[in-house]
Amino acid sequence: MTALAPGNDRAALTLHDPETPFLALDRAKVRRNITRLRERLEPFPVSLRPHAKTAKSPEVARMFWDGGTGPLAVSTLAEAEAFADDGFTDILYAVGIAPSKLDRVLELRRRGVDLIVLLDSAEQAEAVAAASRAAGIAIPALIEIDCDGHRGGILPDDPRALSIAAILDGGGAELRGVLAHAGESYFCYTEEELVAAAENERRAAVDAAERLRQAGHVAPVVSIGSTPTALTVRDLTGVTEVRAGNYVFFDLVMAGIGVCSVDDLALSVIATVIGHRPEHGWTLIDGGWTATSRDRGTAEQSVDQGYGLVADLSGSLYPDLIMGGASQEHGVLSVREGSGASLPDLPLGTRVRILPNHACAMGTQHDRYQVHDGQSPTIAAVWQRTRGW
């Protein structure tokens, strides 16, 4: 903590310096991941709206836009407020709106931010319309379309879309369009399944938008996306914008799906060896679930990576070494069962990297990133993360 207090000479610090555990971010990999999706979508006449919930950092968000600003999706109003403070003006709050949050939505719009909300019920539309009328500010909303039964939304042919649209457009708010998210794509394991999930997501959103337009609504926005479908989609006819978040850092769940390689993972926790239990085949580190999160997303995949793969500070993986166990401030490193690998010699004080099951969850456990570039251990910057709601 103290090693990076403001005013210290950061140029001299490396990943060997900050007290462990801490969150490390490889900026070179972030840049590569951002470029990959941008190039992937370049042939399509759509805009990209990166989801900032993974990084929760204005510095990372500006990397999406070569140092400038552009459209963002966020998962909390705290993120929206932080990005607004940094100059972002086109923000989608992509969680179904609670009426009690509309004051903060209006405040952001008063500041000049085109803050768009999400909803899937007439009750929410009534609340949004009432707040719009009371403030004299039309709040724009997307209707959430459920394409695969994973969370909120209404089905593409649900007639309630028309009532919601009528309440918004007739009540002082604004129907901006529709949104779908292929939650199913996180459980796809072949290119074919991913392409099908992407097409299903597109079809659901486009169908819903067409129904609204046939009823006389403008509904200009058709927003779809998830990291797996954005990276595999082949047809974007009728879509106006693509959202994706996780791809900026990637993680072991995404590698398990096959949309990235382990070498693409930009985020890790760095921890220190504090003990050895050779009789159990364990090496203990000072990073537990407070540092990695309790997320065990790969437990449902064909290769269970425990709490994460283990690498050295330069990023080289130790063969079949995983963080197999975690308590609050202890991690237990062990060799993957049945692999035949042997426990590497990691003396007391050795620093190791833990690669995340789920980058969004690992990030949430921390307040800041120690930023470096590729194999260089030099800490180039310290970036804060937005917390809370």
Binding site for a copy of itself (CB under 8 A): 1-2, 19-22, 53, 75-78, 95-101, 104, 120-121, 123-124, 127, 146, 149, 151-152, 183, 272-277, 280, 284, 286, 289-291, 293-296, 327-330, 332, 347-349, 360-361, 364-367, 387-389
State the minimum distance, in angstroms, from the CB of residue 379 to a copy of itself.
16
State the minimum distance, in angstroms, from the CB of residue 51 to a copy of itself.
10
Give the C-alpha separation, 199 to 236, whole Å: 8
Q: Which is nearer to a copy of itself, 100 or 302 (CB)?
A: 100
Q: Which is nearer to a copy of itself, 46 or 82 (CB)?
A: 82
**DSSP string spanning 142-208?**
EEEE-SSSSSS-B-TT-THHHHHHHHHHHTTSEEEEEEE--GGGGG--SHHHHHHHHHHHHHHHHHH
Q: Which is nearer to a copy of itself, 38 or 294 (CB)?
A: 294
State the minimum distance, in angstroms, from the CB of residue 253 to a copy of itself.
13
Q: Which is nearer to a copy of itself, 20 or 268 (CB)?
A: 20
Report yes or no: 165 and 143 within 8 Å, Cβ to Cβ: yes
Q: Which is nearer to a copy of itself, 118 or 236 (CB)?
A: 118
Q: Which is nearer to a copy of itself, 37 or 95 (CB)?
A: 95
State the minimum distance, in angstroms, from the CB of residue 195 to a copy of itself.
23
State the minimum distance, in angstroms, from the CB of residue 146 to a copy of itself.
8
Give the C-alpha separation, 211 to 214, whole Å: 5
Sheet bearing 72-74, strands edge to edge: 47-50, 241-244, 221-224, 174-180, 140-145, 114-119, 90-96, 72-74
> CB under 8 Å to 379, separation ≥6 — which residues?
4, 10, 13, 14, 15, 17, 18, 370, 371, 372
State the minimum distance, in angstroms, from the CB of residue 192 to a copy of itself.
25
Report yes or no: 217 and 185 within 8 Å, Cβ to Cβ: no
